[in-house]
Amino acid sequence: MKDQDVSFQDLNGLEYHPSLTGFIARIFQHEYVHLQGITLIERGAMQANNSLNEAVR
């Protein structure tokens, strides 16, 4: 699992810059992808396409 350095603001505008590690980093990454509007099926299709492109090279 990759560590994540993230930045965000709460509803009061206070900024936070935590370093996430382990399972919580993975959860954050998963939820961030959802906020971008990417579904599990779309992500799988993108990964499959990337693998195919690498195999062709």
Positions annotated as catalytic residues are: 31
The amino acid sitting at 43 is R
Residue entry with tokens 């994540």: 4
Q: Distance (Å, rounded) from C-alpha 6 to C-alpha 20?
A: 8
Distance of alpha carbon 31 from alpha carbon 36, whole angstroms: 9
